[in-house]
Structure 1
Amino acid sequence: MRIPRIYHPEPLTDFSELSLSEDAANHVGRVLRMQPGQLLQLFDGSNQVFAATITQVDKKSVRVKLAAGEISDNESPLNLHLGQVMSRGEKMEFTIQKSIELGVNTITPLLSERCGVKLDGERLSKKLQQWQKIAVAACEQCGRNRVPEIREVMSLEQWCAEQDDSLKLNLHPRASHSINTLPLPVTDVRLLIGPEGGLSADEIAMTTGYGFTDILLGPRVLRTETTALTAITALQVRFGDLG
């Protein structure tokens, strides 16, 4: 049986004893029905993993005893920041989950002219919390020991205007460049994925003004969630750790 991996939101210390977070305790105690003496693996986002033994289980809490932490670096050498115009329903959750499995470091949900998602106030706050939980669960599943950040929602232009040294890419079905024609080496990428209806002509012009390069994935028009994962995979094959 595979040893369950559990994220702990506070720094872990060698040979300490602690209670799991409420969400983790519910998963370990009620879902997995684990008992004292069984093993877990804990990580806190510091790129360390800690072997842990369950010492106590009750209705609302689980306590564990940690061994010494060990560095376990499963991060890609490619620093990839995904700007994803929000998609409807479970599509956004799917994109977040799978892009993290593929090695994305940061995700910023975006608003654009053709964005079909309308969230504000408390609903938006709850959605961001839900997305961050999805990010944690994806790391627990795939073996990453750093949890990517799900940033606050911002406008497309705000995100494009942020200054950094990344290679800035925008997927466009009529672009003349492909990922395979991009020059090596590349260590930082800012990848823009538009909404289900695509970016408007004015938005595409705006991205060009902020230094984004239009790139083409292939001859077929892909759905927004397919586009994100295909582009991330292609970038990881060329510049990252997929081969």
Structure 2
Amino acid sequence: KEYHGIIQKIDKGQMTVTIKKTAERKSEGCRLILIQALPRSDKMDLIVEKATELGVERIIPVTTERTVARPDTKKENLKVERWRKIALIAAKQCGRTTIPEVMPITGFEDSLKALNDSEIKIIPCLYDDTKALKEVLRGQRGKVLSEAKGKVLSEAKGKSAVIFIGPEGDFTKKEVEAAKAIGAIPVSFGREILRSETAAICALSILNYELRW
């Protein structure tokens, strides 16, 4: 639910609010899940911030065969906590009523096990057997609309879309095949090779345009 109220008092560490009205939170259509290979440096901070602004519900950081950034267990936990704080701040800034779930860092193949129920799975990569992202999404959009029996997409509940974003050296062929085995479609962003953080923002923007906005 969404709550609308008036702030009556602010004390250190707490705030008193008088609730004036409540409203059911409107469905935003397709739920977005981002599986993001860990990039170098602090680029994940930017990805989490922008993914939150673009409506992602869950972010799953993963290590892949070509991942360069491999923090130890102690640093992993600190990084995940940092990303969760970034997601919270970004959600407040953009007026979201929900905070995306930032999962613990996991291996690529382990991340696939939780995604069998997602209707749309897309894995951008640089191999030859890819399809144009635009064509794939518009085909999927028609499929989702059809399953919703003519309702507009924003009213189609329970649908989810997963986007895989690889590391600086791309996914390996083996990883792409593993994703294909659970129904992911290899796609291309065109002739240009994008940085990992650029690819994430680009893909989520396109998914929003085709499936949510």
* TM-score bracket, shorter-length normalisation: 0.7 to 0.9
The code of the aligned residue for 1:179 comes to L
Structure 2 length-normalised TM: 0.82
Q: Could you report, residue by residue, the CA deviation over 1:45-98 in whole angstroms, capped at 9, with x for unpaired residues?
A: xx41342424243xx434323323433747631211100011122210101110
Report what 1:138 is aligned to.
90
Q: Which has the higher contact order (CA 8 A, sep 6+)?
A: 2
2:133 maps to 1:179: yes
SS at match of 1:105: strand
SS at match of 2:56: coil
Q: 1:52 to 1:165 in 2, by over 3 A?
A: same
Structure 1 consecutive aligned stretches of length 4 or more whose deviation exceeds 4 Å = none
Report what 1:165 is aligned to.
118
Q: 1:235 deviation in Å? A: 1.1
Q: How does 1:119-130 map to 2 (within 5 A)?
A: 119-130=71-82
Question: Whole-Å Cα distance in 1 between the matches of residues 28 and 110 of structure 2?
Answer: 27
Q: How does 1:46-195 map to 2 (within 5 A)?
A: 47-57=1-11, 60-71=12-23, 73=25, 76-162=28-114, 163-173=116-126, 174-182=128-136, 183=139, 184-186=142-144, 187-195=159-167
Say if 2:123 and 2:185, in contact at 8 Å, map to a contact too. Answer: yes
Task: Please provide the CA RMSD for this pair.
Answer: 1.9
Question: Whole-Å Cα distance in 1 between the matches of residues 32 and 47 of structure 2?
Answer: 14
Report what 2:181 is aligned to.
209
Q: Percent identity of the aligned residues?
A: 25
Say if 1:193 and 1:224, in contact at 8 Å, map to a contact too. Answer: yes
SS at match of 1:68: strand
Number of residue pairs matched? 193
Structure 2 gaps of 5+ residues are 145-158
Structure 1 gaps of 5+ residues are 1-46
2:193 maps to 1:198: no
More helix by share: 2
Q: 1:126 deviation in Å? A: 1.5
Q: Which structure's CA Rg is the greater one?
A: 1
